[in-house]
Amino acid sequence: MFRKSLFRFSTYNFINVTQKGKVALIQFNRPKAMNALCDGLIKELNQVTQEIDANPEYGSIVITGNEKAFAAGADIKEMQDKSFPQVQNIQMLASWENLTNIKKPILAAVNGYALGGGFELAMMCDIIYAGENAKFGLPEITLGTIPGCGGTQRLIRAVGKSKAMEMTLTGEFIDAQTALSYGLVSKVVPVQNLVDEALKVAEKIASFSKPVAALIKDTINEAENIGLREGVKYERKAFYSTFATQDRKEGMSAFVEKRKPSWTDN
């Protein structure tokens, strides 16, 4: 059934979606606009990620752009003439947050520019890998505005106040090595190897029990929403809930019996 859907996705205007084993690879496809994230692209991204999330064939997702740009932000040309009442009325950019409701782990593979909303979208993902040419920035101040997709909130959590202030108040970009030293990305790899490296790790993640991977993703992300005491309680509840799964039983039995576990996602 999903293969049919993938066929339908291939007719999408702004993204390409391909199946790589148990991983769905989503590639932004607006090369002439530096993959600026127009409304249509975000609609397609939300639709496809929700379908992938519901499809048991898939265990993880990789999102990427091209070698020049992951995404150069929200589409400035779409926003240019909007008024305050209009943006408030349509709750502009609010639907971008849907990505954070996806239960399956999402890796962002960033080559080139990840700016403004492009960077914010990468920060909504669970793991970021950077190509050697990656450039991250929140240049909204240079446009007379501020980040609107959680950038201020996620950046301070990722890198601390001084660096978050420096990046957002100057609008300057940082390179891949700096992003690595800030802890914003987990790994820097040669540009041509980036997507393969992300797919390899995504395939490994997809090989585990899906409900267990979803619990890990959820509990780590929840840490950004709540304090430590509440967070530890939240984690413990999630941990206990793995004892209601076959996969927890199988994983521990396999260890004791010195064999490979066989996951059933139950």
Catalytic residues: 74, 117, 120, 140
Among 63, 72, 99, 194, binds ligand 2MC (CB under 6 A): 72
The answer to whether 81 and 34 have CB atoms below 8 angstroms apart is: no
Q: How far is the CB of 96 from ligand 2MC (least distance, A)?
A: 8
Please enumerate in sequence order all residues whose Cβ is within 8 A of that of 55, keeping only pairs 6 or more positions apart, or say none. 2, 5
Interaction mask 148-177, ligand 2MC, x per CB under 6 A? xx----------------------------
Q: Which is nearer to ligand 2MC, 11 or 80 (CB)?
A: 80
Does 70 bind ligand 2MC (CB under 6 A)? Our answer is no
Question: In this chain, which stretch among 68-76, 155-163, 195-203, 235-243 interacts with ligand 2MC, using CB under 6 A?
Answer: 68-76
- Return the beta strands (E) in the chain as ranges: 15-20, 23-28, 60-64, 69-71, 106-110, 113-115, 127-131, 135-137, 174-175, 187-189
Does 36 bind ligand 2MC (CB under 6 A)? Our answer is yes
* DSSP string of 196-239, one letter each residue: HHHHHHHHHHHTS-HHHHHHHHHHHHHTTTS-HHHHHHHHHHHH
138: left (phi > 0), else alpha (psi -120 to 50), else beta? beta
Q: How far is the CB of 23 from ligand 2MC (least distance, A)?
A: 27
Does 115 bind ligand 2MC (CB under 6 A)? Our answer is yes
Closest residue to ligand 2MC using C-beta atoms: 116
d(CA 256, CA 250): 10
Binding site for ligand 2MC (CB under 6 A): 33-34, 36, 72-77, 113, 115-117, 139-140, 143, 145, 147-149
